Amino acid sequence: MEDDTLAEDLRQAIGELVRAVRAADTMPSGEAAILGHLDRGGPQTTADLAHRRGVTHQSAAKSVKELLGAGLVRAEPHPSDGRKLLLDITDTGRARLRQERAQRATSLGAAIGDALSTDEQRRLRDCVPLLSRLTTHITGK
């Protein structure tokens, strides 16, 4: 079926693009993902972050430990469960996340400018809302 081929081709192309853009990251992907979740979703526990990322608690805890040590995240007692810590991104963490995102956008923007004609850039821009709609449909968000 042609739709299956389109779906697989799109999955592969987007996956390769994401990996290529992330290759220039200066921060481990797990740490950047946690900062992104805290930036978008506000304070969360390590268990919440592990669940959202689809990783083990131990994996998330390792990244959280690095982020705490670097001053990119802070921990406070959980307001309703004293056994837990609530993690939040610091101003330094938010600045570092912005830097990572800007670096990715700059790298991708340069590639778009170098590799695509003006007409191709226009066509790519027209695809962005379609990709956003697909994401919304898949995630329900």
Work out the pLDDT band at 4, boundaries 50, 70, 90: confident
> Which residue range forms the structural domain that includes residue 64?
2-139
Residues sharing a CB contact under 8 Å with residue 103, sequence separation 6 or more, in sequence order: 24, 25, 26
Cα dihedral 17, 91, 65, 63, rounded to 10, equals: -10
Percent pLDDT > 70 in the chain is 99
Q: Is-contact 86 41, C-beta < 8 A?
A: no
Work out the pLDDT band at 61, boundaries 50, 70, 90: very high
Q: Which residue in 72, 78, 68 sits closest to 45, CA to CA?
A: 78
Mean pLDDT, rounded, for 96-110: 94
Mean pLDDT, rounded, for 39-56: 95
Mean pLDDT, rounded, for 126-136: 95
The count of structural domains within the chain is 1
CA angle 39, 14, 22 (to 5 degrees): 50
pLDDT at 1 over 80: no
Lowest mean pLDDT among 17-26, 42-51, 83-92: 17-26
Q: Is 58 exposed, middle or buried (0-12, 13-18, 19+ CB in 10 A)?
A: exposed
Query: Roughly how many angstroms between the first and final C-alpha of the chain, as a whole number?
Result: 28
Mean pLDDT, rounded, for 17-42: 93
Q: Is-contact 42 79, C-beta < 8 A?
A: no
pLDDT at 2 over 70: no
CATH of the domain at 29: 1.10.10.10
How much is the pLDDT for 100?
94
Give the C-alpha separation, 74 to 88, whole Å. 5
DSSP code, position 43: S
Mean pLDDT, rounded, for 40-68: 95
How much is the pLDDT for 3?
72
